[in-house]
Every structure is written in structure tokens, then in C-alpha cells.
Amino acid sequence: MITLALAGKPNCGKSTFFRAATMAHAEIANYPFTTIDANFGVAYVRTECPCRGLGLRCGNCADGIRYVPVNLIDVAGLVPDAHKGKGLGNQFLDHLRQADAIIHIVDASGSTDSEGNPVEAGSHDPREDIAFLTFEMTMWVYGILDKHWAKLQRQAQSRTYSLHRGISEVFTGLGITPEDVQDAERKASIDLSRVDQDGMVRFCAEIVAISKPMLPVGNRVDMAPPALVENLRSTGLTFATAAGELALRNAVSAGLISYHPGDPAFSIIKEEALSPAQRSGLQKIASVMNANGGTGVQQAVDRAVYTLLDMIVVYPVEDEHKFSDSQGRVLPDAFLMKRGSTPRDLAFQVHTDIGKGFLYAVDARTKMRVKDTHELKNGDIIRIVSAAK
Ligand SMILES: Nc1nc2c(ncn2[C@@H]2O[C@H](COP(=O)(O)OP(=O)(O)O)[C@@H](O)[C@H]2O)c(=O)[nH]1
Ligand SMILES: [Mg+2]
């Protein structure tokens, strides 16, 4: 399963975002280091379920909207110089190791300083925070490489030794291949066999960009001064109100509103059941959603998976006529896969044995066999035929 991590300095709303996205418990309070351990939960990527288009009801979607699970980690706050171990730093950088992509929460309202302490709204420039996480991660990677550098150089004396492979092995935990190392070397315009410190830092920045794509999210947009929002808009930031999303999910649980995470708006079910405070709270959220196309929480998770990680949703079935598994459950599974994946890749994702015994695949919509090299498309429904059962 894909893993996303929420990172950023303390107090920008990571735990609120985590709770909203997972509806699981996490400490929420207005001071640094409330979250001592990383919190692990399950969030969901939104997609349109194919069942409606087929004239079926699958029972796995809500009004035709399907939510596909991904792991979400709430990483405790990072402060400047975390890579030197400041403020529980390295421990948290270590948690980021497990993530396929990072949702970088910044406080778009500018009401927390660079260390995460509360300050007056608009007095801190959130753009500084966007650069800071990349820098900390780059220096963290640099620290790891530096520790191994002398040994790598010694080994590189041997003609049979590949420095690219050696470096990729140092970063095994980051999923870096020798090709990635070559790629980063080229992008940093350096030669790894004779590189100075500056070049090495540039190289590490490329390693970070390759292994940990990052989506900056400007949270607390509901309390952000309008001028600040305008400045930030040009950076392509995804704006969010995590607190707003959390309130909406609670209102859904209480039966007050109808809302599917990711909707651009909600509707009130029973106007007369709302207290004046609830009504005005919802009105405020509605106007923020109106300005931003939603609360931004679901949009951030979706962008991280679909845009940053370039994934699609594919539905494996066992019966291509009923679009079901062998027990008649319609569209029982939805798998996230890297764009460019083939039916064989899907077979392996279903089960290693199914993959090993892969014979051929059928497109359930057309009932036609598809080529082994066929590139799966978002929304494909595929029957795998395998020697393994
Ligand atoms: N106004 C507003 N406050 C928020 C929002 N998200 C979080 N907060 C508040 O910001 C403070 C810090 O939130 P928390 O989630 O604990 O931040 P963390 O340290 O990054 O995990 C809390 O008081 C939250 O209620 C938001 O979207 N809007
Ligand atoms: Mg927290």
C-alpha cells in the first residue's frame, strides 16, 4: 500500500489534517511537540467508481464515489536544524524514510514562526517554510552520504566497483537505484568521482527530489490574511482548512450535513437542528470552500497520489461478465498502480503466486484479451487468468 507522510514544522495543523483525513485519534493542541510519536493511520484517495457507468451497484462506494486506502503517517514537527538532531530531528527524518511522498503542511496564515511558536497572523512568511523542509531533508541525506564517503572512495579505487551502485546501496531505505544516482548526478551537473561539497549538496537535493516528492499544502487558509493568500497562490500551493474538514466530518457523523470528502461544497440536511454557533461555523467553512474549491484535505491526498506519484486505479475481477469476484461481489477491489503498469504487474499486485502463474488478461468492458505489454488505464477493469488459483 502507498504511504504518505505529513511533515512540516510544529503547529501548522499536521495532526488536525491527519485526524480529518483518517478520523483517527491524534493529540491536537496549540503548542509544539504535542505529537511525540508518529501516528499511523489510513486515509483515502477519491475516485469515481465504475459501477454506475456499468449500470451496477457495487456496495463499495458512496453515491458512486470510491475511496481507495493509503497509509498516512503524522510525523511530529520538524524545526530548523533538525538534520543536526535539533528538536527530536533525526528521529522524524527517519520516519519520512517510509513514505512514498510527503504532504508538506505549512501554515498559510503566517501565524507560527519558523520554530512553530504562535505569532500574530501574517507576521511570518510561509514561503520560507516551503524551502526549509527540502533543505533539512537534503542535509539529512548529505549527512548519511558523508558518513560513507571515505569508504566509498576507497572502494572506488577498484576497477570493478560501481560508485553508482555503492551510493544506491547507502540509500537502500530510500528506494534509490543506481540509475537514480546517475540521474541525480546529471541533474546536479557534477562528476561523482571528483565532486566538491557544494556539488555534493546539490546532488543530495536531487536524490531527495527523486525519492521523496513533496506536495506543499497551505493550511489554516481560513484565518490567512487575503494579501498573504494572493502571494502564495502564485506558488501553486494547495490551500486547505484541516480544521474545517474535521468539522465537516464530525457534522456528517452527527447527521447534520451531507458531504463526501473532496466535494467542493456540502449541504445542510436539517437546518432547524443546527445551533446558532454550528450554523455560523458551517457558514464560515462554506465561504472558505467556495474560494478554494473545497476544504483542500482530500484534494491534497488525491494530488499526492495522482499527480506526484502518477498513479491510476485499476479493478481486478474474476468474472468479466458480472464484473465480480468468484463470490459475486461486484468490483470488490480497487488497486492503486503506477501509470505504465501492465496486466502482469496487476497480477503480481493481487498475489505473488497469481503473478508467477500469469497467463493472460481480459478487459472486462470489451471482453477482449489484452496484450501483456498493454498499458493499464485509470478505471480499467481486468480479469487476470493465471495458472495459480
Ligand atoms: N483556524 C485553523 N486552525 C487550525 C487549522 N488546522 C489546525 N488548526 C489549529 O492549529 C493548532 C495546531 O494544530 P495541530 O494539528 O496540533 O498542529 P501540528 O503540531 O502540526 O500537528 C491547533 O490549535 C489547531 O486547532 C485550520 O485549518 N484552521
Ligand atoms: Mg501534531
pLDDT at residue 324 in the model: 96
Q: Is the CB of 219 under 6 A from ligand 1?
A: yes
Chain Cα centroid distance, residue 344 = 25
- Nearest ligand 1 atom to alpha carbon 9: 20
**Does the pLDDT value for residue 24 go beyond 50?**
no
Question: pLDDT band at residue 26, thresholds of 50, 70 and 90?
Answer: very low
* Domains recognised in the chain with CATH numbers: 3-129+213-303 (3.40.50.300), 136-210 (1.10.8.470), 312-386 (3.10.20.30)
pLDDT at residue 32 in the model: 53
pLDDT at residue 95 in the model: 74
Among the residue ranges 64-78, 182-196, 321-335, the one predicted with the least confidence is 64-78
**Does the pLDDT value for residue 198 go beyond 90?**
yes
CB-facing half-sphere around the CA of 69: CA atoms within 13 A: 8
Probe ligand 1: pick from 27, 28, 114, max atoms within 8 Å of CB? Answer: 28
Strands 358-363 vs 381-386: parallel, antiparallel or unpaired: antiparallel
118-124 contact pairs (CB < 8 A, 24+)? 118/11, 118/30, 121/223, 121/224, 121/225, 122/224, 122/225, 122/227, 122/228
Query: What integer is the mean pLDDT of 276-297?
Result: 97
* Residue of 242 and 78 predicted with greater confidence: 242
- Gyration radius of the chain over CA positions: 23
Q: Is the CB of 257 under 6 A from ligand 1?
A: no
Q: Is the CB of 217 under 6 A from ligand 1?
A: no
Question: pLDDT band at residue 92, thresholds of 50, 70 and 90?
Answer: low
pLDDT at residue 175 in the model: 82
**Does the pLDDT value for residue 389 go beyond 50?**
yes
Ligand 1 center–CA 15 separation, angstroms: 7
Q: What is the pLDDT of residues 112-127, one digit of tens each?
A: 998 889 999 999 999 9
Question: pLDDT band at residue 83, thresholds of 50, 70 and 90?
Answer: confident
Residue nearest to atom 10 of ligand 1 (CA): 13
**Does the pLDDT value for residue 277 go beyond 70?**
yes
* Nearest-angstrom CA–CA distance, 337 and 346: 8
Nearest to 18 by CA among 48, 45, 38: 38
Probe ligand 1: pick from 12, 15, 16, max atoms within 8 Å of CB? Answer: 16
Question: pLDDT band at residue 94, thresholds of 50, 70 and 90?
Answer: low
Q: Calculate what percentage of the chain has a pLDDT beyond 90.
A: 75
User: Which class for 352: exposed (0-12), middle (13-18), buried (19 or more C-beta within 10 A)?
Assistant: exposed
Q: Does the predicted model carry a pTM greater than 0.95?
A: no
Q: Is the CB of 77 under 6 A from ligand 1?
A: yes
pLDDT at residue 87 in the model: 63
Q: What is the pLDDT of residues 29-62, one digit of tens each?
A: 455 554 555 688 889 999 999 999 999 999 899 8
Q: Is the CB of 144 under 6 A from ligand 1?
A: no
Q: Is the CB of 295 under 6 A from ligand 1?
A: no
